[in-house]
Structure 1
């Protein structure tokens, strides 16, 4: 009798312990937060969902960054005017994740897309639009520092934080690559006599007018890291789109040895302009189109990580003789886009014709 009672007690205790453990397990799971905090570029902490699978990069360059650090299938809305056909070729997942072509310029579209978080410069949205996002419980993470290499690296890291631990690792890996290419270009050109450095300028052409960039533009950092002297570094004038208006008299006075044109049509205009015929770059046929993959290399672009090396090959071919830009592009697309780019596509990218 005592044995039976003892066994019953053991059974009851086992059941109680099992229930307690089960309850404790459920309780522990319920305490796991469904949100976490990320810090925007202004140092403000923003609460976002713990796991992000639907994101809306507010500008074109951030769509490219999202594919690099967030991985495929994460973009639910984008700045669609800046999403090229080649972007869709390289990232076919985008056609599925944003199959309805939701544009970040439309708050209604962002909400309809099921987006969990939006990120980009404050200037993209008005206070009213940010309030609309807030009302829809969609956090906006401001990323404003995108004017220089340091800011671009910070931007990559913030976007990495948005996508969690794996995103953080991918962002740091890319930043290491980005800064590594700049350091490599600087090292190769470190011994160039300042008096012998190549003079260069960026030149755009639209609506019958030229524009350039000065030392405040991120591209100036690429010029200098590759051993170039930007003849327009200290230039100030009225803006023309994203550049500074400049006339042909000023270009002639600067007389750059190399000109980096923004597009093929700009290159053609420069080479055929009789008022520029005596400019060294024109006279010596050293006018080049900036490469363009899924985004232009000379602006706030992840592909800008390759620009210092490309600039080095055109300004100092002897110093950069071991730099094979075809291989650089191939490795970049494979490592950061997960895309096996063909030799024909590489030539198109390097010619700036993939837009």
Structure 2
């Protein structure tokens, strides 16, 4: 999120970016060092190395639950560096941009306004789609496609924002592993996946052959350069994914040229102008 608003202020990344990701970002900023994660699962940052970078602010966009708030307070206490914990929920993106703009003394209004317009335009059109035209969707993760997001999981936030029927939503929670038998019972009309191996193998896998989405060829591999369009990281990168998913779920209501929308989004948020070949590579999900 900081990269999209003020790339020059970014000292480092939670993990080092790969070359194929850097092709879609400002090269010098993309190449800044890996500093690891300070909080959350798999925190890997070394406080000494963070301090050595002499930051004026530690920025964390994500969950603002008491657990994360106390972690933030502890890091601030240990380092003496102000720690801003901002709301990472999808619906809060515009207000989080404005708060980040105030913290960094940068004009966040263009990105906040784009976010609001995108969410309201898409929401308005989805509201016009009759209930019986909202597809049953299965979100497949992992090489076997058997990890999915339950109802309310941050991983399926965009799918549920579009009011498609997440077949795994009968249970609330985060990520869960399910059986192929369960997927056959759900019989989704659309499968969205972030795993290239699964996308490549599912059409020839006899276990999946009876699933409606596989039979009708409605299995879609999500773009993920430089950041995922559907799931990870759970940030502003998912805004472009909304347009992509909306066209898959409701083609009669979304006739935008996804290539033009992608070019516009990447120039506004990632500060690059991708070529036609670059956009083709992104849309194939082959990163």
Name the SS for the 1:205 alignment partner.
Answer: coil
Alpha-carbon shift at residue 309 of structure 1 (Å): 1.5
Gaps of 5+ in 2: 38-44
Alpha-carbon shift at residue 221 of structure 1 (Å): 4.3
Contact 1:220–1:233 under 8 Å retained in 2: no
The counterpart of 2:111, out of the listed 166, 174, 189, is 174
The counterpart of 1:284, out of the listed 216, 220, 223, is 216
Q: Which residue of 2 aligns with 1:253?
A: 185
Alpha-carbon distance between aligned partners in 1 of 2:127 and 2:280, rounded to the nearest angstrom: 29
Contact 2:135–2:249 under 8 Å retained in 1: yes
Name the structure, 1 or 2, with higher relative contact order (CA <8 Å, separation 6+): 2
Counting only pairs closer than 5 Å after superposition, residues 1-355 of structure 1 correspond to structure 2 as 65-70=1-6, 72-81=7-16, 83-89=17-23, 90-94=25-29, 98=32, 100-104=33-37, 105-120=45-60, 131=74, 134-143=77-86, 145-146=87-88, 148-164=89-105, 166=106, 169-170=107-108, 172-206=109-143, 208=144, 210-218=146-154, 220-236=156-172, 243-299=175-231, 300-321=234-255, 323-354=256-287
Alpha-carbon distance between aligned partners in 2 of 1:66 and 1:113, rounded to the nearest angstrom: 17
Alpha-carbon shift at residue 252 of structure 1 (Å): 0.8
Alpha-carbon shift at residue 132 of structure 1 (Å): 6.1
The structure-2 alpha-carbon separation of the partners of 1:256 and 1:313, relative to structure 1 and needing over 3 Å to count, comes to same
Contact 2:135–2:164 under 8 Å retained in 1: yes
Alpha-carbon shift at residue 232 of structure 1 (Å): 1.5
Name the SS for the 1:311 alignment partner.
Answer: helix
Name the SS for the 2:244 alignment partner.
Answer: helix
The structure-2 alpha-carbon separation of the partners of 1:285 and 1:156, relative to structure 1 and needing over 3 Å to count, comes to same
Name the SS for the 1:73 alignment partner.
Answer: helix
Contact 1:204–1:212 under 8 Å retained in 2: yes
Contact 1:215–1:234 under 8 Å retained in 2: yes
Query: What is the count of residue pairs matched by the alignment?
Result: 273
Alpha-carbon distance between aligned partners in 1 of 2:224 and 2:91, rounded to the nearest angstrom: 22
If you compute each CA radius of gyration, which structure gives the higher value, 1 or 2?
A: 1
Alpha-carbon shift at residue 234 of structure 1 (Å): 2.2
Alpha-carbon distance between aligned partners in 1 of 2:239 and 2:286, rounded to the nearest angstrom: 18
The structure-2 alpha-carbon separation of the partners of 1:236 and 1:103, relative to structure 1 and needing over 3 Å to count, comes to closer
Name the SS for the 1:80 alignment partner.
Answer: coil
Contact 1:210–1:247 under 8 Å retained in 2: yes
Contact 2:222–2:228 under 8 Å retained in 1: yes
Alpha-carbon distance between aligned partners in 2 of 1:103 and 1:224, rounded to the nearest angstrom: 30
The structure-2 alpha-carbon separation of the partners of 1:269 and 1:130, relative to structure 1 and needing over 3 Å to count, comes to farther
Name the SS for the 1:348 alignment partner.
Answer: helix
The structure-2 alpha-carbon separation of the partners of 1:209 and 1:298, relative to structure 1 and needing over 3 Å to count, comes to closer
With normalisation by structure 2, the TM-score equals 0.83
Name the SS for the 1:119 alignment partner.
Answer: strand
